[in-house]
Structure 1
Amino acid sequence: MNSSVIISLPNSDDTNVIEPVSLMYYNSDTPSINSRINLKQNLFSFLLEGQKSVQYAGTQVKIDANQFLLLSSGNCLMSEKKAAPDGEYSSILLFFDNKLLIDFFMRRPQKMNSLKHKNNQTPIVSFEKDTFLINFIDSLGFMLKSNLQLSCEMRKLKLEELLLHLSEYYPEKIQQLHSLSFEANDDLLIRQAITDGINNTMTVEELAFLCHMSLSTFKRRFAIIYGTSPNKWLLEKRMQKAAQLLKQGDFKVSEIYFELGYESLSSFIQSFKQIHGITPKQYQMAN
């Protein structure tokens, strides 16, 4: 999959009308890395087989088939892969409007007010599958495989069933869910995204996407905050991390370049020499 293509989900029909709740089955035998996803609605992603990683500005979560995710509407990067060479990646996706979520909480003000308000807002909430949730996900799979036309009311009922269970048994996570509409000012988003960018393979273009900005706007705002370009800043920070790892002596040069997201050892050596003036091996021997 071309990671530079923006995929909007859920897809609308020919009338460009998006249902308040929609349900779909997704499977693939081809891994995807950092696909740019624009979620037009909130999403419960029930992983059936494989592994999934989701990155928003400032936060990243990885799950396996024993877990599932609740994702806020907005821009994110998704990576999906099979857990075994002969397996596949498969999931059930439940999209829903934020209005339905707000309505759910408005009808239960006492329960929500009883929860302690904490500054733990996040665009991603992960859950472990308990017995009820396993059966609930199985029921969604049965509905999809039956080829019956599910009414909007039936889909709303299934969403309500899920939210009721989560609010009953996972109240702290529901508090995060209650604050799901993730808002942050531009400067905060940039700071969160760029800090995560040190430790993974995200490009400047992907960072701009997570911050809901064009590349030119992202670079301009970044220069105002940090006084340099994002490419230069990331290079310096990644090479600082490389130097720290080399000093510790627990990593070989051939291991560090992969850890920092470089595709080849030669490009890593070139970058390291650009910042430190010597090769990683020379640096390690000198320290």
Structure 2
Amino acid sequence: GKGEPYRSIVLKFSKAFLREFYQTLDRQQIPIDSKREKASLLLLPKNRPDIRSLFESVIPYFDAGEKPSEKILKLKMIEGVYVLLNTDRNLYASLFDFVEPWKIDILDYLNENYMCDLSMKEIASYTGRSLATFKRDFAKVSDLTPQKWIVRRRLEAAHDLIRSGKKKVTEACFDVGFKNLSHFSKVYKETYGVAPSWQSELYGK
């Protein structure tokens, strides 16, 4: 009203807090079609009961000059995140889903580590994801499954090594991460139409 001093209440969500909150979410409830908004400012609706009660419940602490306990503050923060998520489903993406600052870019990581003998669970963990989130995020960047992407990447690297004449077939096979020479020869021929040994002779001269 008129004559009343202006007061603002600010809730700041740290990365650590959001990460902790994200771990509590049921992944099945996260809307897959959530997209990060380009606008960085979102106005909350005025008259929603959950929004009003959140901020009105904090005011008495200011009036009394008391600081709420850490537990109370955390509950208010959790309430605040739910208010945001109930306001706009796209805020799932903005707050955590596809752009988590603690997530490493999947393709960057795989391009550096495709030759390593890692399970999907390990790759997911090293990129800051659960296995389910890793698979979902991967599907956004490639039409291949992660396993097929890794095989293709290894074949490309082996192909380059053999064509350059830098490596013999066996060396190229094991250098890029294949464990079995006959399997490597088979998938190489399926992909490039020629056996790696033939290509090695062609380019090795």
TM tier relative to shorter chain: 0.3 to 0.5
Name whichever structure is richer in helix by fraction: 2
State the structure with more CA Rg: 2
Higher strand share: 1
